[in-house]
Amino acid sequence: MARVAHVNNVFFNAEKCIMKNVAIIQADMDSVPLPGKVLRDVNGMTVLDRVVRRVQRCQFVDQVVVATSDLPIDLPIVDHCRDFGYQIYAGDQLDVLSRYVQTAKTFQADRIVRIAADCPLIDSGVIDQVVIKLENDSFLDYASNFFPKRCYPHGMDVEAFSLQTLLLVDSLARAKPERQRVTEPIYQTPSLYRIGSVQPRNDHSHLRWVVDTAEDLRLVNLIYRHFGHQRFGWRQIVDAYQSNPHWLSTNQPIIQKKVA
């Protein structure tokens, strides 16, 4: 009997998924203004551990890989992944696009799910929705939950695209900023790609759950301590703000980065 999964009112026949979906988590130690943020503590685990374990809960991700650089500064990430049994690829520090291409080829990915290592509240259900969006529409090249409009909180960002799309971006991206930001050419020239979007009913883009600063890290720790486990989703966090209004001011002054 075919296994049929139900994700937020989307029915999906898993036996049709014959292509390999690989989640690539981009992780680097050299971050400003919070160096080494991916190995900072979040209620007993590192930020990276939280991300990896939440992505591992996805139904439609076949493999999870951490992609870092081959420079000595990122050796702690490589060692940490090896100690915990995570799949790891170390590539070019500045040419992150090349790093993604080589990671995808090394792990024989047909589709790539792009996740940032500084998003320890990433929701596996949201990731699955974006993957399903890409898989159910055979005409799409790319799907995300923040482009062309963001309604999810910052820190819920998910992108999914085919290997062919990644290779096309790689062939077109020439400038250094494009190759550092991987999918920026898609935002800059959306007419070249068939793009799908996944959005919640309400706009929660004022919430910031990404870890870029000490204030961000403090908020994430507060949220994890509130729940006391890892099995909560993003909607439960939104609901928890009702009884924890001080969360809003914890990292409120932070200026959000633009997509493009």
| Domain of 53, in residue numbers | 4-206
Helix (H, G, I), strand (E, B) or coil at 170: helix
The pLDDT, as a whole number, for residue 7 is 44
More confident residue, 125 or 32: 125
Q: Summarize pLDDT for 183-236 with one digit per residue, the tens.
A: 999 988 999 999 999 999 999 999 999 999 999 999 999 999 999 999 999 999
CA gap 151, 7 in Å, rounded: 19
The pLDDT, as a whole number, for residue 253 is 64
ω before 33 within 30° of 0 (cis)?
Answer: yes
Residue 51 lies in a domain: yes
Give the list of residues 6+ apart from residue 227 with CB closer than 8 angstroms, or none: 236, 240
State the CATH number of the domain containing residue 159.
3.90.550.10
60 contacts 134 by C-beta, under 8 angstroms: no
Phi first, then psi, for residue 188 (nearest 5°) are -75, -30
pLDDT at 158 over 70: yes
Sign of CA dihedral 217, 221, 224, 230: positive
* Rounded average pLDDT over 167-172: 94
For the chain, what is the domain count?
Answer: 1
Residue 254 lies in a domain: no
Residue 248 lies in a domain: no
Helix (H, G, I), strand (E, B) or coil at 234: helix
Residue 98 lies in a domain: yes
Residue 259 lies in a domain: no
The pLDDT, as a whole number, for residue 2 is 32
Residue 128 lies in a domain: yes
Helical spans, DSSP H, in the chain: 47-55, 75-84, 96-106, 124-136, 163-172, 176-181, 184-188, 214-227, 234-240, 247-250
Structure tokens at 178: 């494009």
Residue 211 lies in a domain: no
16 contacts 9 by C-beta, under 8 angstroms: no
Residue 201 lies in a domain: yes
Q: Summarize pLDDT for 53-86 with one digit per residue, the tens.
A: 999 999 999 999 999 999 999 999 999 999 999 9
Structure tokens at 44: 């007993």
pLDDT band at 254 (very low <50, low <70, confident <90, very high): low
